[in-house]
Amino acid sequence: MPYENITVEKRDRMAILTIDRPKVMNALSVETVNELRRAFLELKTDDDVAGVIVTGAGEKAFVAGADISELHDLDPEGAKHYSERGQHVLSIIENMPKPVIAAVNGFALGGGCELAMACHIRIAAETARFGQPEVNLGVIPGYGGTQRLARLVGKGRAMELCLTGKMISAAEAQSIGLVNKVVPPAELMAEAEKMLGAILGKGPRAVALAIEAINRGTEMDLAAGLNLEANLFGFCASGEDWKEGTKAFMEKRKPEFKGN
């Protein structure tokens, strides 16, 4: 089935997923969130795709937030379901076994900031702006903003951003650890593809297990996290990529990973 609110372009083992609603600053309507879910579930099992870049259409916005017109008439039960649905979809993205990079080309506010945080790595144009402005509407972040933001930048910074609702620049976002790298707008997609390309040259199984170890381990105490890491490290040794990678290193050649 074709998508109405997003586009997916595949090339060089990469998928470029674009939120394509520029007339409304790429706002995350319910249908857009549903399409994101379908797209990521399809990409997860697509053998021709090894990694994903997420960006927004146009030059103004990555995603400027939720579609506010859909929020006004929600009752408490409907609002809870709305939040849980968005959290579910962003958790699918966060736990993708394939690397996901957010190429933030403009405003990443509310649900847009939450979408970016669900991606494994964030690269931002110098003109990008970040924020969780939900309190300006009398609500709180509902797609994981209060949780992922605190884990990425610390409790104090998360409190400041969520309670004031202020926007911050890409440079400030990088300084507090919300963004990995900031580049001129014209270089954004090239830089995202360059970084994803570098990751795709590594062992696919190792990349997937590293994502799992970091995602799950940060929710555990240190001892449990170290145990998880040791188990996944041992699991690496059961595959051919382990043997190929170590053999290639000793033979001073580039490894030819098969993803197993």
Q: Which residues carry out catalysis?
A: 114, 134
**Length of the chain measured in residues:** 260
Give, in order, the Cα–Cα distances in Å from 133 to each of 63, 165, 220.
13, 4, 30
Give, in order, the Cα–Cα distances in Å from 219 to each of 17, 83, 185, 210.
28, 21, 34, 14
Can you give the three-state secondary structure of the chain, one letter per residue? CCCCCEEEEEECCEEEEEECCHHHCCCECHHHHHHHHHHHHHHHCCCCCCEEEEEECCCCEEECCECHHHCCCCCHHHHHHHHHHHHHHHHHHHCCCCCEEEEECCEEECHHHHHHHHCCEEEEECCCEEECCHHHHCCCCCCCHHHHHHHHHCHHHHHHHHHHCCEEEHHHHHHCCCCCEEECHHHHHHHHHHHHHHHHCCCHHHHHHHHHHHHHHCCCCHHHHHHHHHHHHHHHCCCHHHHHHHHHHHCCCCCCCCCC
Residues 6+ apart with CB under 8 A from 90: 114, 115, 118, 143, 144
